[in-house]
Structure 1
Amino acid sequence: MMWKPDRQGKKPLYEQIADHLEQQISYGEFPPGSLLPSERKLAEQLGVNRSTVILAFAELRSMGIVESRTGSGTRVSRTKWEAMPKHTPNWSRYCEGGSFLPNLPFLRKIREALAQQPSLIDMASGELSPDLAPTDEIAALMSEHRYTSYLGYDNPQGYVPLREALVGYLDAYRKIQTTGSSILITSGSQQSLYLITQCLLSPGDAVAIEDPSYCYSLPMFQSAGLRLFRLPVDQDGVRPEDIRILYKKHRIKMVFVNPNFQNPTGTVLSMERRRQLLHIASELGLPIVEDDPFSLTAYGEEAPVPLKSMDTNGSVLYIGSFSKIAASGLRIGWMVAPHSIVERLADARQQMDFGLSVIPQQVAAQFIQSSYFQPHLERLQLQLQFKRDLAIASLRKELPDSISFTAPQGGLHLWCQLRHDVPDGKLLEEAVRKGVVFVPGSVYGSDAGFVRFTYARAKAEDIETGISGFAQALRELLS
């Protein structure tokens, strides 16, 4: 039986093919100087895209195992296998080592598909489309202001004027009172989470995360050796009493929540549960990490208050970011925490990269203090609501009896439950063939049968086409 790559395996297809070919060559099945099958022929034999074989050949070339010449095909290297060979390190083996785990297989497949097929309608990536970003506003600010001529390392805690601007921003928009010394500037929410998991926790520590949760899709928790315990999310968010149960049973050391337009479900933690959560955290001495990237996307209503604004005991580490309300490319996030924690994490960050570039920090400081910021937020909220409504209308038209969901009142995502049992992997592959990508719900720790559509990334005119492609893929698998 001919060997085939394992499509359900953790390793990308091109790496599996490269490893298999390397093994065949080492066994002498392809002697030095021999011609390998053409990219097209090998792709047909293995049942993969030609682009996957191209990547596999590139991997072998990087190790000096094969050589390719235009018009002559790909041959096994003669010099690699001579009597006194000059060996290139087997980089693929090194990639499998280390303690920092790679992204989940589904996320790698989605990234690979988007890289190979730029025309795919992207309903997977959790970011804003270019037309939603304040591009013109930032360009105007950069022409109006002369930025510093000093381009050396800045304060490891972050650019002081940006931290001072965030003090006013957090008070005005999030009802959080803090000081510049209690703010750490990061490159985004993920860096904040990384610093917390690496610096404030130890391997073997137990932590509680929502179920489903964006945190579940981040291998950084497993890379840090943490034990994850789940807090089920219902229509009102997590149930605080579950935290008490987990604490008694597993001695959890930290709780991670996304209470406002939670990713992926879009739910908002009820006010009563917020009070209960803070009370239990105070009673048990448990830190709460509040990730709050979506609050200011609230559609036509006041943004939900953060836990941090209600925190009178200093239990909450608050994480924010510009990625979901302005531009992910600015790479500006922040954490509000006790000064001792900020100093500890700033020291660790300085060891990693000596701090962020000062220029994006200057731009961000100017933007949140400018007359452009509030109009941008209002436009963003209206356009996100419009895109959400397009996605909902398309789903109701295409799959009225096959899918259920609750319309979110903010955020970027639509969390849907399928009423049919369809394997995640096959549905994703078929959707890619139909020209659209989404994220299977299992990425976020949920049971099979859920999907997450991000309506913020795709162009408005492509949303209906994307949902139609997904519906065709689902119908074909069901038939």
Structure 2
Amino acid sequence: MWKPDRLSDQPLYQQIADDIERRISYGEFPPGSLLPSERKLAEQLEVNRSTIILAFGELRALGIIESRSGSGTRVSKFKWGATPKHTPNWHRYAEGGSFLPNLPFLRRIREALQQDKTLIDFASGELAPDLAPIEEINILMSENNYTSYLGYDNPQGYLMLRQQLVSYLSQYRDIQTTESSILITSGSQQSLYLITQCLLSPGDAVAIEDPSYCYSLPMFQSAGLRLFRLPVDHKGVRPEEIRSLYKKHRIKMVFLNPNFQNPTGALLDAKRRIELLDVASELGLPIVEDDPFSLSAYDGSAPQPLKAIDPIGSVLYIGSFSKIAASGLRVGWMVAPHSVVDRLADARQQMDFGLSVVPQKVAAQFLSSPYFQPHLDRLRMHLLYKRDLLIEALQSELPELVRFTVPQGGLHLWCKIIPDVNDNKLLEEAIRRGVIFVPGSVYGSDSGYVRFTFARARADEIGPGIAKFAAALKAILS
């Protein structure tokens, strides 16, 4: 007899509901026929009766079965009739398709944050409202007209924003480019999505850092790509590993976050940068450089991107406002050869006919305003303060149970728990106690690692939040 798969990500009750619906559609249970009782079915399938109640509730909501007190549960006559008729099984459609859902841990974190607004948030990778330039943007919006034209714009993005980015990239990132080599996107993730969908093919092998934020993005698997890992140490990736992966797997592209890497905070060593570009040029291998955190360098000296020292054009450069200004603007950019920009602009136009002009105009005004540099200075100061609060709390609450390297920029602190713990148990216990974080396994690491993001929580929440985490960890270890 069929049994539900307890190792599946699909809930047991949903598996059971789907199986009963199949058996009804195959005629095993004709319209009006009596179904086994909840208790009997629970015994047959070796599950709790509450699971069967949930499965019957799902089928009852679809009108497939009906229950009457004293008469048991029967297949609906009105739903099926002499000739069975179906309402589309939207659950199966939602489970299908080639675009995979987010990882279970990330869905659980999102669900917990939506359900409990009081959770102290060390999980969300975005700036808190007090770190965003809200007042400055409000002033700019009151002083400028952003609604003079609201039609479709150039598929590459708003021209004035691309022109401002040429100046910004030259001044702040030492990257020399032109507006025709810039594609505006709705953030770094859309840039990555366009690259994986348009420049690569199913079955292609690509290299990502280990651990890596890319590992948490199902878009790579959805595109049918094979992922191979480049270990990250305190100096970043080792260039010789790229040559090794190329020989073994013929990798087609390398995805890197060399400055204050997410999640480890590592900074790619200057010597390794040169060696890495040499390897890439030797192999004709493109590098996708995701650079969201450089301007958050706490000492104000932003590390140079690979793109700035790329002599032959091996690097596709991705940037975003999300980590330095406001994630809600949904403005990012890519610097790439003209042929790549044209290809991706065409694909993006098929998706959405281009981005909203209004946030692009706001971003362009903010970049050229006298508010931008003071905002960066204030952002760095506050991030450094929050980082130090987090480190002080960890050293006070868990001096012997966590190990970490202090980052010099970015929004994250990467911690190793000593000894190893079960990620799921620790996350659930932490949520129960009022704090949330991202388990390291989301980024491809072994269990027992934790990423704390200190940009989202308020300064006065950081100490209490770590105290709650410490209590959860000690409860699990005991």
TM over 0.5: yes
Aligned twin of 1:137: 136
Paired residues for 1:80-479 under 5 Å: 80=79, 83=82, 86-479=85-478
- The alpha-carbon deviation at position 105 of structure 1 amounts to 1.1
CA contact (8 A) 2:4 2:16 kept: no
Aligned twin of 1:42: none
Distance 2:336 2:421 in 1: 44
- The alpha-carbon deviation at position 33 of structure 1 amounts to 12
- The alpha-carbon deviation at position 184 of structure 1 amounts to 0.2
CA contact (8 A) 1:163 1:185 kept: yes
Alpha-carbon spacing, 1:285–1:191, altered in 2? closer, same or farther (3 Å): same
Aligned twin of 2:16: 20
Distance 1:76 1:473 in 2: 47
CA contact (8 A) 2:264 2:413 kept: yes
After superposition, the C-alpha distances for 1:148-189 in whole angstroms (9 at most, x for unaligned) are: 422111100000000000000001110101000000000000
Distance 2:460 2:78 in 1: 54
CA contact (8 A) 1:5 1:46 kept: no
CA contact (8 A) 1:18 1:60 kept: no
Aligned twin of 1:41: none
SS of residue matched to 2:277: helix
Q: Which amino acid aligns with 1:20?
A: I
Q: Which amino acid aligns with 2:119?
A: L
After superposition, the C-alpha distances for 1:266-313 in whole angstroms (9 at most, x for unaligned) are: 000011011111111111111110000000111124010000010111
Aligned twin of 1:72: none
After superposition, the C-alpha distances for 1:352-374 in whole angstroms (9 at most, x for unaligned) are: 11100000000000001001111
Q: Which amino acid aligns with 1:153?
A: Y
CA contact (8 A) 2:211 2:264 kept: yes
Alpha-carbon spacing, 1:263–1:341, altered in 2? closer, same or farther (3 Å): same
* Misfit runs of 4+, over 3 Å: 3-6, 16-28, 31-34, 45-48, 56-68, 75-86
Distance 1:262 1:84 in 2: 60
Q: Which amino acid aligns with 1:318?
A: Y
Structure 2 gaps of 5+ residues are 39-47, 68-73
CA contact (8 A) 1:63 1:89 kept: no
Distance 1:229 1:247 in 2: 10
CA contact (8 A) 1:323 1:331 kept: yes
Number of corresponding residues: 456
CA contact (8 A) 1:261 1:295 kept: yes
Structure 1 gaps of 5+ residues are 38-44, 69-74
- The alpha-carbon deviation at position 201 of structure 1 amounts to 0.8
SS of residue matched to 2:92: helix
SS of residue matched to 1:290: strand
Distance 1:388 1:47 in 2: 46
CA contact (8 A) 1:233 1:239 kept: yes
Alpha-carbon spacing, 1:76–1:139, altered in 2? closer, same or farther (3 Å): farther
Distance 2:289 2:56 in 1: 45
SS of residue matched to 1:230: strand
- The alpha-carbon deviation at position 389 of structure 1 amounts to 1.1
Distance 1:421 1:132 in 2: 34
Distance 1:269 1:207 in 2: 19
The worse-fitting range, judged by mean Cα deviation, of 91-100 and 327-336 is 91-100
Distance 1:420 1:395 in 2: 16
CA contact (8 A) 1:79 1:85 kept: no
Alpha-carbon spacing, 1:310–1:465, altered in 2? closer, same or farther (3 Å): same
Distance 2:303 2:50 in 1: 50
SS of residue matched to 2:410: coil
Q: Which amino acid aligns with 1:121?
A: I
Distance 2:325 2:438 in 1: 23
After superposition, the C-alpha distances for 1:90-135 in whole angstroms (9 at most, x for unaligned) are: 1111122111111111111111111222221111111111111111
Q: Which amino acid aligns with 2:286?
A: P
RMSD over aligned CA atoms reads: 2.9
Distance 1:240 1:193 in 2: 22
Distance 2:64 2:435 in 1: 36
CA contact (8 A) 1:412 1:455 kept: yes
Distance 2:220 2:19 in 1: 34
After superposition, the C-alpha distances for 1:245-273 in whole angstroms (9 at most, x for unaligned) are: 11111111111100000000000001101
- The alpha-carbon deviation at position 197 of structure 1 amounts to 0.7
SS of residue matched to 2:171: helix
- Which of 1 and 2 has greater Rg? 2
Q: Which amino acid aligns with 1:321?
A: S
Alpha-carbon spacing, 1:32–1:109, altered in 2? closer, same or farther (3 Å): farther
Distance 1:271 1:191 in 2: 29
CA contact (8 A) 1:413 1:452 kept: yes
Q: Which amino acid aligns with 2:205?
A: A
SS of residue matched to 1:154: coil
Q: Which amino acid aligns with 1:295?
A: S
SS of residue matched to 2:241: helix
Distance 1:464 1:408 in 2: 19
- The alpha-carbon deviation at position 59 of structure 1 amounts to 6.6
After superposition, the C-alpha distances for 1:32-80 in whole angstroms (9 at most, x for unaligned) are: 999x99xxxxxxx7899xxxx99x9997687455899xxxxxx997743
Distance 2:109 2:291 in 1: 25
Paired residues for 1:53-92 under 5 Å: 63-65=62-64, 79-80=78-79, 83=82, 86-92=85-91
